[in-house]
Amino acid sequence: MRHQRTTPTLDAGEIDKMRSVGRLAASVLEMIGEHVQPGATTEDLDRICHEYIVGELGCVPAPLNYSASAGQTPFPKSICTSVNHVVCHGIPTTKKVLRNGDAMNIDVTIIKDGYHGDTSKMFLIGKPNVLARRLSAVTQECLYRGIAEVRPGAHIGNIGHAIQRHAESHRFSVVREFCGHGIGAKFHDEPQILHYGKRNDGIVLKPGMAFTIEPMINAGKRHVKILPDEWTVVTKDHKLSAQWEHTLLVTEDGVEVLTLREEELGWLEQAPTATNASLAVSA
Ligand code: MF3
Ligand code: CO
Ligand code: CO
C-alpha cells in the first residue's frame, strides 16, 4: 500500500489528458515570448497569460488562489515571474518593470479536464551579462540531463545526481528547499524529485508515472529565504538564480516530455530515450 501511495501511475485516459494539457501549457510559454520586452511589467505578462489561458485555451491557471499549505496566503496571480535573484514563486506586479539585462523565469501551470501541466523557462531581456547567460544555459542543460536519466527501472536519485553534478561542475549551487513533484489530478503529488542526490538512491521509476523536473540553480550560495509576502523566494546572498521546468511521463522504454516546445526539437533528437507524442500529435 505504501508503495502505491508514493508512486501513483496514470491510466491511458489520464495520460491522454496529461498530453493535452502539457501541450497547451507549452503553448503559453511560446505565446508570451514576443511580449517579454524592456518596459513591460510582470503584471502585463500575467494579464496576457491569464487572458490566453482562460480565453483562448479554456483552461484554469493553477497558481491563482493556490495555497501550498493550510493557512498560507493564497497566490494572487496566474503565473509566477521570477526576475534575477528571485529563485521562484515571484508575484507579478505593476512595480516590476523589465530592463535590458534582466533574466526572468516565467512558470506556467494550467488545468484542463482536471489534469495539470507545469512548465517554465528563462527569458533573457536584451543582453544580460555573461554570468546570467551562462547560468541560464547551464540550468537548462541540468534539466535536460535530468530528463535523460528518466526511464523505467531507473532510481529517482539518478535524476538529482545528474543535475547536481552538472551544476557544481560549473561552480554553481543547487537549491534544496524546493523540488520537482508528481503531477496529475493533483498539482503537487508524490514523489518528490530532488535536484541533488546519489545514483541508485530512492524509488524506482515505472511506466505511467508523471512528474516535473525543475532545477533551481544559483550563481552564489544555495541558501534562500522567503519574503514577507509568504511566496517570493530569493537567494540569501542576492546573487542570480535560474530555473527551467518540464512535465514528464515515464513510458515503457523511456520518457515523454509533455511540455516540450518547438524550439527544443533539436535537443530531443540528441536524447536517445526521449520522445514527444504531444508535438507529434499536433504536427
Ligand atoms: N509552478 C510551481 C511549480 O513548479 C508552483 C507555483 S505555486 C504558486 O511547482 F502558487 F506559486 F503559483
Ligand atoms: Co512544478
Ligand atoms: Co512550475
pLDDT at 117 over 90: yes
**pTM of the prediction?**
0.96
Instruction: Extract the C-alpha cell encoding 108.
Output: 506556467
Instruction: Report strand pairing: 233-235 vs 255-257.
Output: unpaired
The CA–CA distances, whole Å, from 218 to 79, 133, 146, 256, 282 equal 21, 13, 17, 27, 35
What are the tens digits of pLDDT across the range 219-254?
A: 999 999 999 999 999 999 999 999 999 999 999 999
Please name the residue whose Cα sits nearest to atom 8 of ligand 1.
63
The verdict on the CB of residue 109 being under 6 Å from ligand 1 is yes
Which-ligand-closest: CA of 119?
3
Give the pLDDT confidence score for residue 158 in this predicted structure: 98
Element (H, E) at 47: helix 42-51
28 C-alpha to ligand 3 centroid (Å): 13
* Buried-state track 255-273, b at ≥16 Cβ within 10 A, e below 16: bbbbbbbeebeebeeebeb
Q: Is 90 a pocket residue for ligand 1 (Cβ < 6 Å)?
A: no
Tell me the per-residue pLDDT of 195-220, one tens digit each, with 9 for 90 and over.
999 999 999 999 999 999 999 999 99
Looking at the chain, the whole-number percentage of residues with pLDDT higher than 90 is 90
Which atom of ligand 1 sits closest to the CA of residue 79? 12
Tens digit of each residue's pLDDT (9 = 90 or more) over 247-272: 999 999 999 999 999 999 987 777 77
Q: Which grid cell sits at 68? A: 501550498
In sequence order, the β-bridge partners of residue 106 are 81, 121
- Nearest to 276, CA basis, from 260, 252, 263: 260
pLDDT above 90 for 275: no
Which residue do the cell numbers 542570480 mark? Answer: 240
Residue 269: predicted pLDDT: 78
Q: How far apart are CA 25 and CA 210, in angstroms?
A: 15
Which range is least confidently modeled, 2-16, 26-40, 122-136? 2-16
Are 120 and 243 within 8 A, CB to CB? yes
pLDDT above 70: percentage of residues in the chain: 95
How many Å is the Cα radius of gyration of the chain? Answer: 17
The closest alpha carbon to 189, from 75, 12, 36, 18, belongs to 18
Q: What digits encode the pLDDT tens for the residues 58-67?
A: 999 999 999 9
Q: Tell me if residue 119 falls in helix, strand or coil.
A: strand
Ligand nearest to the CA of 75: 1
Provide the pLDDT for residue 5: 56
Phi, psi of 34 (to 5 degrees): -70, -15
